Amino acid sequence: MSPERFSKALHVALKAKYGHIPSCQRLVDDLYTESAGTCSLSSEAARKWLNGKTTPRGVAYIYLEQLLGLSAHLKQAGEKQNAPASKRAAPA
């Protein structure tokens, strides 16, 4: 999965959960809480995910899935990306 595709799905998932894109620190804090303290990340890591520079690895991805339900959003992003040009949604 490309970092850009992941970033788009992450934005959608965050808006669905929070109603807006929270700060990177809030996302990191919520992941830490969701993981009962086992997933400690920097806000810089979250910033890179949001900006499409990198994707999360290992346990961070698992807890993002639990916190945000990312799988459904990634599937939707993949379907839109793979749709024929005539059926793709217009960019917002």
In a domain, 85, yes or no: no
- In this prediction the pTM is 0.78
Q: Flag whether 26 is in a domain.
A: yes
Tally the C-alpha atoms within 13 A of residue 82's C-alpha that lie toward its C-beta.
Answer: 7
Residue 60: inside a domain: yes
pLDDT of residue 86: 42
58-79 per-position pLDDT tens digit: 899 999 999 998 887 777 766 5
Residue 49's domain comprises 3-74
- 84 part of a folded domain: no
* Contact yes or no for 8/81 (Cβ under 8 A): no
Name the domain count of the chain.
Answer: 1
Cα(16)–Cα(40) distance, integer angstroms: 23
**The pLDDT of residue 74:** 74
The pLDDT assigned to 85 comes to 44
